[in-house]
Structure 1
Amino acid sequence: MTYSFSLTVNGATRAVEIEDPRVTLLDLLRERLALTGTKKGCDRGQCGACTVLVDGRRVNACLILAVTLDGAEIETIEGVADGNRPHPVQEAFIAHDGFQCGFCTPGQIMSAIGLLREGETGEDRERIREGMSGNLCRCAAYAGITEAVAAAQRALAAGDRRRA
């Protein structure tokens, strides 16, 4: 049996057909849609490397069955820059050394974008750390990540034209 549905991924509508209803959003993105920026870390929802935004909410793509997302809007790391200009969160991660090896960085950035859109943290470092706690960094770049999220919050509050 074939399952047909459509998703809006990074602003583009994508018609999808899959044979196995157990295909996760992560595997659909990486293997069928060639969006490999979203990383497969633990494949159990524990590390956050696969964080994407589904209808504006942060989710672990490894835990969601793709067939349940008919009509959903998906944002991945590939869709956050404005042409050649990085998203303010991406710029902040670079400026504040919010990464080392880079494996967790796409999930960290997507989680930070979602967190800033939720508007619950402001620049409060403790609230940022708590809000980002679902994303693990094996290199322990947490101080830089926290500073990057706070800096992105400032940049966005100061009037960067783009939404977080």
Structure 2
Amino acid sequence: MKKIPPGAEACNVLVGELEFLNKPVVAFVRVSPAVLINGLAEVPIATRFLFILLGPLGRGAQYHEIGRSIATLMTDEVFHDVAYKAKDRNDLIAGIDEFLDQVTVLPPGEWDPSIRIEPPKNVPSQEKRKKNNLLPNGLVEGEEEDEDGDHGGPELQRTGRYSELSLSTST
């Protein structure tokens, strides 16, 4: 407890499988005011956020990974602020998109140190991300959506055509 800063609040991530469910059920809850839920966290800290994912049997490992991802999101200062201020699901999705735009993902497996790209000498500042106010559509406040299709290069031009992409999964 002596290492936990004053005013700290918990985000509890709960995942599990239930035999009577046919499809996953997900809830992301912001509790206001934060409440102490005895026996849920390892230390007596008031809970501000709850993420609950329950699904049918057989996908426990996937649910666990989703829970890990949510826990990682909640450690990011900018997403954390978005979660505090979110008014609806779109605000949370915009925060997740912004996080994914900034995150560096390393693929699993063995890494050969002789060919690995060294990390940057200076870690980029989070101040720019903190100052931006994300809107539900993913834009930053004061930023306008690009109507003329200028996306940074001639290889990406807006055509106005819509193409449907269908994804299938095999079970």
With normalisation by structure 1, the TM-score equals 0.29
Rg larger in 1 or in 2? 2
Between the two structures, name the one with larger relative contact order (CA 8 Å, sep ≥ 6): 1
TM-score between both structures, scaled by the size of structure 2: 0.28
Structure with a larger share of its residues in helix: 1
